Amino acid sequence: MGLGSMKYVEVVSVGDLGLMSIMKVDKLTFAIERQNVKDFVMEGGWGAVNVAVGLTRLETPAGLIGCIGRDLIGQGFLSLMKEEGVDVSRIKIVDKGTTGNRIVVVDLKGRSLELIYKGTNEKWDESIVDEEYISNSRALYLVGNVFTDGRRSLAFKLLREAKKLGKTVFFNIGSTFLSTGSSALSNLRSLIDYWLMTEDQAIELLGTLSQSALRFFLKKMEGKAIFIKLNTEGTYVFAKNISQKLPLQKVSIKDTIGLDEAYDTGFIYGILNGYDLEGAAKIANLVASYKLEKGGAWSLPRYEEISQKL
């Protein structure tokens, strides 16, 4: 498996791989058959990919595990990853398959339409569970969407391998886990250190954001902390000895595409660099603010751009 010799990475990022096309229009409507696109950007904008890019820019080497096709989209994806310095040596190439693709159409009012084609993302096999690659890393970042299809059993193997090797595990619940993969929840007990979720996902999961509900969940799942992203309002971090909301500084918002992963990037960076939970959440807010002002899923800062604020 893989595209070359293995490199050292601090974080192994696991989830859907592929390109994302962002098309901006004046008004999102289905009443007309044709619309002119005002702006077009192509990025590798899927959750695990965004975090790998964001961490690498913060001088925290990251690599990806997953599958792409031997096609033009796959070639474009690999080219973008190599430009960013993300390790692709453990990505599997599927000869007869089409790389995943994600299309987002957004208008001036922020309304959006998203189309997702998983493609080769569901083509995992046993080679995905690469013990040596995980062993040489410090942490695993995994997006919950991999529990919603045929990848579930291998995703569990990855998690168990990471925990056996003493790695820190960050779990982003993802957009579809609670609706189609939540039956896997009970089996995640003791496998996740940090639970990362949006406010809406937390309420759907727990029914409330009360401290008692958060405390019960964290104790039941044997985790270290819950990190909740409050859209453009900041973050909320909860653990045994902390329950704190950290407001986001007021910034001019260009768009919220990729905001979820911008928060995750900053939080993971903070934890791996020895910050406490509050400090890690502040870095998450810093990265998110940068992303909001610039727009686009890959509007993520490089270390030298924010180092003075860390």
| Mean pLDDT (10-residue bins), the chain, 310 residues | 70 95 86 81 84 97 97 94 95 95 87 91 94 96 95 97 97 92 91 98 96 97 98 97 95 90 98 98 97 90 94
- What residues does 94 pair with on adjacent strands? 69
CB atoms inside a 10 Å sphere around CB 165: 13
CB atoms inside a 10 Å sphere around CB 129: 19
CB atoms inside a 10 Å sphere around CB 208: 10
pLDDT at 193: 98
The one-letter amino acid code at 145 reads: N
| Dist CA 266 CA 307 (whole Å) | 12
pLDDT at 43: 75
| Dist CA 231 CA 284 (whole Å) | 12
Distances 45 to 39, 54, 150, 152, 165 between C-alpha atoms, Å: 16, 11, 22, 22, 29
The one-letter amino acid code at 135 reads: S
| Dist CA 205 CA 214 (whole Å) | 10
DSSP state of 110: S
Buried b (16+ CB within 10 A) or exposed e, 228-264: bbbeeebbbbbbeeeeeebebeeeeeebbbbbbbbbb
pTM: 0.94
Residues 6 or more apart whose Cβ sits within 8 Å of residue 47: 15, 16, 143, 145, 172, 174, 260, 261
> What pLDDT, in 10s, does the model give residues 212-246?
999 999 999 999 999 999 999 999 999 999 999 99
pLDDT at 22: 87
pLDDT at 35: 82
Residues 6 or more apart whose Cβ sits within 8 Å of residue 50: 44, 258, 261, 262, 265, 297, 298, 300
| Dist CA 43 CA 76 (whole Å) | 9
- N-term to C-term CA, the chain: 38
| Dist CA 175 CA 11 (whole Å) | 21
pLDDT at 260: 96
Containing 68, the helix (H) or strand (E) segment is strand 62-69
